[in-house]
């Protein structure tokens, strides 16, 4: 089935007219190595992404088939982009 004529067209609007909110991410990582022997080290590490747990909102809706929703933001960004605070604590032995 072919799409209707003029489907998906904004008229005379330019490209990139909808701009979403930016991201604010503060990351922190700390490492400490302790010598055990001459070439053996014990390493403790801690790291955080989005340390201050700032909400990073998603891009605005662009589906012109639902005109009442265009430009609205209804979600936060996914975990892999800039989601909620994420922490990692680890230890390892290097030799």
Q: What digits encode the pLDDT tens for the residues 64-77? A: 777 788 788 888 87
Q: What is the pLDDT of residue 11?
A: 64
36 pLDDT tier (thresholds 50, 70, 90) = very high
pLDDT over 70 at 22, yes or no: yes
Strand partners, 32: 44
CA distance 7 to 49: 41
For the chain, the structural domain boundaries read 28-94
The DSSP H or E segment spanning 82 is helix 79-82
42 pLDDT tier (thresholds 50, 70, 90) = very high
């Amino acid at each position: 089935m072919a799409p209707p004529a003029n489907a998906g067209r904004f008229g005379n609007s330019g490209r990139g007219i909808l701009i979403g909110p930016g991201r604010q991410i503060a990351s922190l990582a700390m490492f400490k190595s302790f010598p055990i022997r001459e070439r053996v080290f014990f390493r403790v590490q801690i790291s955080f992404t989005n340390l201050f747990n700032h909400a990073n909102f998603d891009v605005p809706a662009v589906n012109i088939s639902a005109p009442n929703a265009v430009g609205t933001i209804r979600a936060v960004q996914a975990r892999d982009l800039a989601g909620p605070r994420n922490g990692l604590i680890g230890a390892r032995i290097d030799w």
